[in-house]
Amino acid sequence: MTRDPRTAAHALARSGARPGVRSCSRIAGLCLVLAVVLAPGADARTPTGTGSTAPAERARSDRDPVSPGGTARPSAEDPALEARLVTVTRELRCLVCQNESIADSHAPLAVDMRNQIREQLRSGMSEREVIAFMVDRYGNFVRFRPPLTASTLALWFGPLLLLVGGLVALGVQLRRRAHRAEPPVPLHPDEAARLAALAADDTSGPVR
């Protein structure tokens, strides 16, 4: 008695269960594609280091760099210059702690670079010229937003390509499934006879 119902379940499973499993894996695949697409955009401009900065360090703000000697420089005298300094330094990666911008980092190199950029801006260099100056010395790696070149094409358009590819695959799959709305596979005559026998058995059996 216990063996037979299982066989019947098998027969049912053959016709019904698979599409469900399949669509599940499709949705999981789509989620993966979306995650890949969204992740770099969310990450690229987040200065990850700020969260871990000690309170004492944070209190000493970027506009107020302390030179190694310990003397604070009167830098807030020109707020417009400081605002420009912040916009430029947010674009530049600190080479020492590579996930922080020069604006956020307290590494000595970042302090030096901020001081140099402040002087450059004061002497009349444009933001673009300052960034070019740093790229000449440290390479495009120093920029948080890499320029569009042959080697960064995949970086810029890869995620979009993945998204489009995923959507196309999804569309094709949905369309194919709509066409495939055929009746379930009929039981083999042997299976049908067995099922009938089981049903007959059940009505006369002890279970009621």
Partner 1 sequence: MSRHWLPLAGFALLALLLGIGLTLNPREVPSPLVGKPAPAFRLPTLAEPDRRFGPEELRGRAWLLNVWASWCAPCLEEHPIIESLARSGVPVYGLNYKDRREAALAWLQKHGNPYVLSVVDDNGRVGIDYGVYGTPETYLIDRDGVIRFKHVGPLTPRVVERTLLPLLRSLGAS
Contacts (CB under 8 A) with partner 1, residues 59-98: 68, 95-96, 98
Alpha-carbon gap, residue 151 to 13, rounded angstroms: 50
- Identity of the residue, 3 or 137, whose beta carbon is nearer to partner 1 in the bound complex: 137
Residue 146 is classified by DSSP as -
- Identity of the residue, 18 or 58, whose beta carbon is nearer to partner 1 in the bound complex: 18
**Whole-number minimum distance, CB 165 to partner 1, in Å?**
12
Distances (CA, A) of 151 to 16, 38, 157: 48, 21, 11
Q: Which two tokens stand for residue 174?
A: 């949905």
Contacts (CB under 8 A) with partner 1, residues 24-43: 25
Q: Which amino acid is at 205?
A: G
Q: Which of 11, 135, 170, 198 binds partner 1 (CB under 8 A)?
A: 135
Q: Do residues 73 and 65 touch, judged by C-beta distance below 8 A?
A: yes
Alpha-carbon gap, residue 101 to 108, rounded angstroms: 13
**Whole-number minimum distance, CB 138 to partner 1, in Å?**
5
**Whole-number minimum distance, CB 188 to partner 1, in Å?**
22
Question: Which parts of this chain interact with partner 1 (CB under 8 A)?
Answer: 25, 68, 95-96, 98, 108-109, 112-113, 116, 135-141
